[in-house]
Amino acid sequence: MSERDRMRIGVPKETAANERRVALVPDAVARLVKGGFQVAIERGAGVSAACPDAAYKAAGATVADRASVLQGDVVLHVQAPTAGEVSQYREGGAVVATSFSGGDGSLVRQLAQRKLTAFSLVLLPRITRAQSMDVLSSQATVAGYKAVLIAASATGRFLPMLVTAAGTIPAARVLVLGVGVAGLQAIATARRLGAIVSAFDVRPAVKEQVQSLGATFLEMAIEEHAETAGGYAKELSEETHRKELAFLANAAKDADIVITTAAIPGKKAPILITAAAVEGMKPGAVIVDLAAETGGNCELTEPGTEIVRHGVVILGPVNLPSTLPLHASQMYAKNLSAFLGHVIQEGQLRLDFEDPIIRDTCVTHAGEVRKT
């Protein structure tokens, strides 16, 4: 295959505020180049993730300006591009990002007007073949880990039990609400730091996973089925949710740290900790709300900031994966590489819309908006 015939992959520098990740790291670039791709990286794209331009050049990439990178056959982003960038893509090309959702849908319409084939990786189906591409899981792993570190820094307590000449200090009690990938990582990290951990989820099937990490699973009798076919938690009935709130308010009373991770795909995050529940917590307790970006699991959460209510510190961090940019980027790059290996064959996009991976992730194609 001649140099001219090789598919060109472009990786621009992320422009979203406080975004430090990069779509490809040098190791991933080296594998793609070996696989027959040309890769162009915007100057400085990986610096915040400890990936200097020299490392990309050594991996076989070309370091170029933004305009040149955006003309690639396939352009890879972490965050969605801005509306102003769409006109800079090669018409008929492809673009991949975590998500293109939000706002009024104008970005998706612009992508379609440019005849771009756009893939949103948050829409990947939860099937075995897609596990290596699962960006939600890889980035939730980062968020769950970092949430515990933030909580440990914010609390006025040690996490492990300490026996000292000044007396014995009991271990902190950590309560994790929502036992998906982020919740499991939070449990594991808090346990490694020596805390006593308990966890709650409306899906009883996760009990064994919680116990395998050395935590206590808090069981509440839920008569309705609380899990979707895809394995996600689903919205509860009003009466069951009322019982759930009372149950969790009682559980939170004894917690030194509460980490909330509950989410319902495509919907506002469910409220798990009410204002009244916060009032009933210990002075000095800490809540880290990982659902802050979708409304928050705590009724009092303010996204992107720290507040104190009734002596309880409430943190609503946003985009936590970006705060560990090196490993978050490494994981994301592996997800992207696996996805590209699936949708590109013999240097061409493979658009079999009978394939659930392609069908579910393709947002626009050939001038058509397929998903909003």
Q: For the chain, what is the HEC assignment?
A: CCHHHCCEEEECCCCCCCCCCCCCCHHHHHHHHHCCCEEEEECCCCHHHCCCHHHHHHCCCEEECHHHHCCCCEEECCCCCCHHHHHHCCCCCEEEECCCCCCCCHHHHHHHHCCCEEEEHHHCCCCHHHHHHCHHHHHHHHHHHHHHHHHHHHCCCCCCCEEECCEEECCCEEEEECCCHHHHHHHHHHHHCCCEEEEECCCHHHHHHHHHCCCEECCCCCCCCCECCCCCECCCCHHHHHHHHHHHHHHHCCCCEEEECCCCCCCCCCCCECHHHHHCCCCCCEEEECCHHHCCCECCCCCCCEEEECCEEEECCCCHHHHCHHHHHHHHHHHHHHHHHHHEECCEECCCCCCHHHHHHEEEECCEECCC
Whether 153 and 113 map to the same domain: the answer is no
Q: Does a structural domain hold residue 133?
A: no
CB 289 within 8 A of CB 316: yes
The enclosing domain of 245 has a CATH number of 3.40.50.720
Residue 115 pLDDT: 97
Q: Does a structural domain hold residue 129?
A: no
Q: Does a structural domain hold residue 258?
A: yes
Last residue of a domain, one of 301, 322, 343: 322
Whether 154 and 110 map to the same domain: the answer is no
Whether 115 and 190 map to the same domain: the answer is no
- Using the predicted structure, report yes or no on whether residue 318 has a pLDDT greater than 90: yes
Whether 271 and 149 map to the same domain: the answer is yes
Q: Does a structural domain hold residue 338?
A: yes
- Using the predicted structure, report yes or no on whether residue 72 has a pLDDT greater than 50: yes
Residue 182 pLDDT: 97
**Domain total in the chain:** 2
Residue 240 pLDDT: 83
Q: Copy the structure tokens of residue 281.
A: 């917590």
Residue-wise pLDDT tens digits, 284-305: 999 999 999 999 999 999 999 9
- The average pLDDT across 24-50 equals 97
Whether 78 and 204 map to the same domain: the answer is no
Whether 332 and 310 map to the same domain: the answer is no
Q: Which residues pair with 366 in a beta bridge?
A: none
Q: Does a structural domain hold residue 243?
A: yes
- Using the predicted structure, report yes or no on whether residue 337 has a pLDDT greater than 70: yes
Residue 241 pLDDT: 87
Q: What is the mean pLDDT of the chain?
A: 93
Q: Does a structural domain hold residue 128?
A: no
Whether 307 and 338 map to the same domain: the answer is no
Q: Does a structural domain hold residue 314?
A: yes
Residue-wise pLDDT tens digits, 124-162: 999 999 999 999 999 999 999 999 999 999 999 999 999
- Using the predicted structure, report yes or no on whether residue 49 has a pLDDT greater than 50: yes
Whether 222 and 358 map to the same domain: the answer is no
Whether 95 and 146 map to the same domain: the answer is no
Whether 177 and 115 map to the same domain: the answer is no
Tell me the whole-structure pTM to 2 decimals. 0.92
Residue 74 pLDDT: 98
- Using the predicted structure, report yes or no on whether residue 95 has a pLDDT greater than 60: yes
Whether 74 and 113 map to the same domain: the answer is yes
Residue-wise pLDDT tens digits, 77-90: 999 998 889 999 99
Domain coverage including residue 216: 139-322
Q: Does a structural domain hold residue 132?
A: no
- What is the rounded distance in angstroms from the CA atom of residue 48 to the CA atom of residue 45? 8
Residue 1 pLDDT: 47
- What is the rounded distance in angstroms from the CA atom of residue 52 to the CA atom of residue 170? 45
| Percentage with pLDDT > 90 across the chain | 85
Q: Which residues pair with 197 in a beta bridge?
A: 174
Q: Copy the structure tokens of residue 117.
A: 């084939």
Whether 159 and 291 map to the same domain: the answer is yes
Residue 3 pLDDT: 57
Residue-wise pLDDT tens digits, 179-231: 999 999 999 999 999 999 999 998 888 999 999 999 999 998 766 555 555 55
| Degrees, nearest 5: CA angle 261-266-268 | 55
- The average pLDDT across 329-351 equals 95
Residues annotated as catalytic are 126, 131, 134, 137, 232
Banded model confidence at residue 4, pLDDT cuts 50, 70, 90:
low
